[in-house]
Amino acid sequence: KQEVTQIPAALSVPEGENLVLNCSFTDSAIYNLQWFRQDPGKGLTSLLLIQSSQREQTSGRLNASLDKSSGRSTLYIAASQPGDSATYLCALSGNTPLVFGKGTRLSVIA
Amino acid sequence: GAGVSQSPSNKVTEKGKDVELRCDPISGHTALYWYRQSLGQGLEFLIYFQGNSAPDKSGLPSDRFSAERTGGSVSTLTIQRTQQEDSAVYLCASSQDVTSGGNTDTQYFGPGTRLTVL
């Protein structure tokens, strides 16, 4: 059974810092990995999707990497802004629909 | 429509009552998913529909939960004889396609229905 862990559970940084969010998983037989953002009281917004054959994806200030052999993914956020404050979730697709981590709650302080 | 919509946005009910939650997926999306997000917990998969195939119900927590998808579009999640532990945010998502084995395209989520069982 796939298990997804996200560390840290919460993170607070000053505006402008670069930061890394971590996601680890136990079963490397995945099809893809997605990073989502969830704002309080809202649904999820897909940020990046990495296919299992890919190593990374970039979108603006976001860069996500995938290392299947070690069961890890990272989401790098450059030059963080207060508007980046949200909960970030990683989710993996394998032989079952998405399995989610519990998320990292990010606060960027102005 | 422009995105996935869900109704109602909030639902308060008494223990033992039945509730129905509705999801309108993005037009043309063949796959539809229901998830539950309880306070302090991660998202829990409940059920998914792919085209005309039999739904994957492996995530439904009990036989009080059921879902249907009419005409390959709108879906309704029904919870019978609600319990306090059913209180959660119920999220619906849709994606353009699902290949065999459960591989998915990007899923687009609705805003969720917050269910409170008193």
Nearest CA in chain A to B100: A95
Report helix, strand or coil for B84. Answer: helix
Mean pLDDT value of segment B3-12: 95
Exposure string for B20-48, b = 16+ CB within 10 A, e = fewer: ebebbbbeebbbbbbbbbeeeebbbbbbb
CA distance A44 to chain B (A): 5
Note whether A98 contacts B110, CB cutoff 8 Å: no
Give CA–CA dist A105/A11, Å, rounded: 6
* CA dihedral for B32, B87, B58, B42, sign (positive or negative): positive
- With a pLDDT cut of 70, the percent of chain B lying above it is 92
Q: Quick one: what percent of chain A has pLDDT higher than 90? A: 77
Chain B residues within 8 A of A95 when measuring between CB atoms: 101-102
Binary contact (A98, B42; C-beta < 8 A): no
B25-71 pLDDT, tens digit each: 999 888 899 999 998 777 899 998 988 888 889 899 999 999 999 88
Say yes or no for a CB contact (<8 Å) between B56 and A91: no
Chain B hits for A42, Cβ within 8 Å: 111-112
Q: DSSP letters along B91-116, please?
A: EEEEES-B-TTS-B---EE---EEEE
Q: Please report, as a single letter, which amino acid is at residue B90.
A: Y
Q: What is the pLDDT of residue B1?
A: 52
Q: How confident is the model at residue A98 (pLDDT cuts 50, 70, 90)?
A: confident
**Minimal C-alpha gap between A109 and chain B (Å):** 23
Residues 6+ apart with CB under 8 A from B107: A34, A44, A46, A98, B31, B33, B93, B94, B95
Give A20-47 pLDDT, tens digit per residue: 999 999 988 888 899 999 998 788 999 9
Inter-chain touch B107–A98, beta carbons under 8 Å = yes
**DSSP one-letter string for chain A:** ---EEEE-SEEEEETT--EEEEEEES----SEEEEEEE-TTS-EEEEEEEETT-SEEEETTEEEEEETTTTEEEEEE-S--GGG-EEEEEEEESSSS-EE---EEEEEE-
Strands A10-14 and A104-109: parallel
Of residues B102 and A39, more confidence is placed in A39
